[in-house]
Structure 1
Amino acid sequence: MTTLFIVDDHKIFRESLAELMTKQGFKVIGMAGNGKQLLELLDKSIPDLVIMDIAMPEMDGCEAAKIAMEKYPNLKILTLSSFGDEKYYYLMINAGVKGFVLKNAGINEVKQAATEILEGGSWFSAELMKSVINSMNKKTTTDASVKLSERELEVLKLICKGLTAEKIAEELNLSHETIRTYRANLLSKTGCSNAPALVLYAIKNRIIELG
């Protein structure tokens, strides 16, 4: 059974989410009210997935994610977000967070996001990403200096759909190692640190569009 930590400073929210996720077949093995408490839990056991808020007292989700990912690089984190948290998204992504779900999302979306991340993919709420990109577009321009090949664009678009390297290899009838090479080239050319950052890059530069 897939194990979870739930981290949120509102007790009623984390307990309600724990109950809902348990009904979806997950096993909640730890809950925390802030990032500091999460790190203490991680010193005792590592769950399959951490579902964590950003804005919390003592230690917020950004700092906790950064410290946790440095110490446990294979840890998977799904962030619970509010529209007011846009300024933290890049920090969370650079720390290694695999996805974002709005707090007003239904339990089915949370389950789907968790499943995608556990399978090696990523997940972004479309509504949330529109808000982030609108905010980014007011401050930045697209980067015309980066030239991607047709195959690199093809791989990037599949990454943006949340596909793992294995699924992309199957989709394009290429080897897993070839896809890993394309992914490494994309990260190098764009200056991104991971797949979620590539998703933001692709949307910001209008390589893909949110419907």
Structure 2
Amino acid sequence: MKSALIVDDHPVVRAAVKIVLELEGFKQIHEAANGNEVMSLLRDHSPQLLVLDLVMPSLDGLDVLERIKASDHSCRVVAFSSLDPLHFQERCMRAGALAYVSKTNSLGQLHKAVQAVMAGYTYFARLPTASLDNLQVSEAQMIDSLSNRELTILQHLARGMSNKAIAEAMHLSHKTVSTYKTRLVEKLRVASAVHLRDFSKRNHLI
């Protein structure tokens, strides 16, 4: 019996994905609203497919992918996100996802991704990097140089979260988050932490 797990903090999105999976013949469909629930659900239900959002409370999708990769769970993962694939598709691929579908696309793309992944193939978009201007290429290279954790902290900062809130959400010390913040300012060559939000918005990281 085909089984799947949908992980997304938006109930409407989960409902839409569930319809797609039911049309693809999945009979057992489990749901989770945050990344912290994923590993226990994988242990309890052993789903064949995981449709995973990247932006969630507590534990984001990239961290979930890394945890799955480090575990002994074999599960096909489709990343389904509103984040720009230019900066996140390859990271998901390296972390073990077999497909990346943007939420800005029609649900038909999700159908195709699920079909491809269940048939043993991958499903990734060809990205139009050649059309970027020099500033964007330079900034894209800077973003690529960030670790997954640095990128996650950058997104949290850009959304206005305090160091304390980020530390609690990511189970880090306040000092560690502060160190990451300083490192991000240096790596992204912005004048101060205040400019991290502008940088993130300009590059569609939030």
TM-score bucket of the superposed structures, by smaller chain:
0.5 to 0.7
Residues 89, 124 of structure 2: 8 Å contact kept: no
- Matched residues in 2 for 1:119 and 1:8: separation? 24
- Whether 2:141 is the aligned partner of 1:138: answer no
Alignment match, 1:62: 62
Residues 51, 78 of structure 1: 8 Å contact kept: yes
| AA in 2 matched with 1:105 | N
Alignment match, 2:110: 110
The TM-score with structure 1 as length reference comes to: 0.57
| AA in 2 matched with 1:100 | Y
Query: How does 1:61-210 map onto structure 2 within 5 Å?
Result: 61-72=61-72, 74-84=74-84, 86-126=86-126, 129-130=127-128, 138-139=137-138
Residues 5, 51 of structure 2: 8 Å contact kept: yes
* Identity score, percent: 23
Q: CA deviation at 1:105?
A: 2.6
Q: Structure 1 residues 14, 134: closer, same or farther in 2, change over 3 A?
A: farther
- Matched residues in 1 for 2:20 and 2:114: separation? 13
RMSD: 2.6
Residues 69, 75 of structure 1: 8 Å contact kept: no
Deviations 1:169-189 (A, max 9, x none): xxxxxxxxxxxxxxxxxxxxx
The alignment partner of 2:100 has SS state of: strand
Q: CA deviation at 1:73?
A: 5.3
The alignment partner of 2:44 has SS state of: coil
Residues 102, 125 of structure 1: 8 Å contact kept: no
Query: How does 1:28-43 map onto structure 2 within 5 Å?
Result: 28-43=28-43
Structure 1 unmatched runs, 5+: 142-211
The alignment partner of 1:125 has SS state of: coil
Alignment match, 1:157: none
Q: CA deviation at 1:135?
A: 6.3
Residues 84, 102 of structure 2: 8 Å contact kept: no
The TM-score with structure 2 as length reference comes to: 0.58
- Would you say how many aligned residue pairs link Structure 1 and Structure 2? 138
Alignment match, 2:51: 51
| AA in 2 matched with 1:104 | T
- Matched residues in 2 for 1:52 and 1:28: separation? 16
- Matched residues in 2 for 1:101 and 1:45: separation? 24
- Matched residues in 2 for 1:102 and 1:38: separation? 21
Structure 2 unmatched runs, 5+: 142-206
